[in-house]
Amino acid sequence: MEILVILVPLALALGLAGLVGFLWSLRSGQYDDLDGAAWRAIADDDPPQETPADVAGAKR
């Protein structure tokens, strides 16, 4: 039972640290653009390259 004297304040301190970290991330704008990162991950950076066969087929 004596260990509870250490564990309960430790658990409260860790919970408070997590809450402070979450509030800091809210204020610093970490959650402002939730969809942007998802679309940047799947978006193509480069336009598709044309092959000589594509160019020849377009001239007909």
**What are the pLDDT digits (tens) for 1-59?**
899 999 999 999 999 999 999 999 999 998 888 888 778 878 777 766 777 766 666 65
d(CA 39, CA 33): 11
What is this structure's pTM? 0.56
* pLDDT (0 to 100) of residue 39: 82
What is the model's pLDDT at position 38? 79
Give SS3 for 60: coil
In sequence order, the 6+-apart residues with CB closer than 8 A to the CB of 25 are: 31
